[in-house]
Amino acid sequence: MDTVLHATGLLLLGTACLVAFASLLLGLPGTFFIVVAALVYAWTTGFAAVTWSTVGWLFLLAVIGEGAELFAGAAGTAGERPSRRVMIGALLGGVVGGLVGTPLLFGVASLLGALAGAFIGAALAVVSEGGTMRVALSTGLAAFRGRLLGFVLKAAVAVVMLVVLAAAIL
């Protein structure tokens, strides 16, 4: 009976982690969902395999991943046109674009909306500062690349989190 419960727990943890990883495409904080799944698993198993230390490391990685994604779009514009208005435009554009894209294509368009929003937000901020269309497009493209880099970094951190969790369990 113990083996069945253990296998069921591992199956539920694996499913929760895969769903959390997939939620990254929707612009959701999937890294924190992984932390919650690990914490629930640890609690139900009496912190036998997954300890508080492991949960703490997973939380730290989640904060790093979410922070990297949040600021990458804004920081991507810093090399093109370093102004506070442009960075805020890219950041807000990414958030609004992600929200607008969420209901489309079963939520998968959330990532595309965030990328487009960062581009549009940065480009509009450049135009509002009196920049040319060429500079606006260049800055918007830099914000797009920065936001995409942020997503890739966050996904990479999520993979590292899954490896840490698997190493703790095995």
Q: What pLDDT, on the 0 to 100 scale, is given for residue 41?
A: 94
Q: Integer distance in angstroms from the first to the last C-alpha of the chain? A: 20
Q: Give the pLDDT confidence of 3-50 residue by residue, as tens digits.
A: 888 888 899 999 999 999 988 877 788 999 999 999 999 999 899 889
Q: Is the pLDDT of residue 60 over 90?
A: yes
* Average pLDDT of span 69-77: 72
Q: Is the pLDDT of residue 2 over 70?
A: yes
Q: What is the pTM of this model?
A: 0.82
DSSP-assigned letter for residue 48: S
Tokens 């797009």: give the residue.
144
> Which residue type occupies 136?
A
Residue 32 CB coordination number (10 Å) = 17
Q: What pLDDT, on the 0 to 100 scale, is given for residue 17?
A: 94
Q: Specify the range with the lowest mean pLDDT, choosing from 52-61, 72-81, 95-104, 149-158.
A: 72-81
Q: Is the pLDDT of residue 1 over 90?
A: no
Q: What pLDDT, on the 0 to 100 scale, is given for residue 55?
A: 96
Question: pLDDT-derived band of residue 106, with 50, 70 and 90 as boundaries?
Answer: low
DSSP-assigned letter for residue 50: S
d(Cα 95, Cα 150) in Å, to the nearest integer? 13
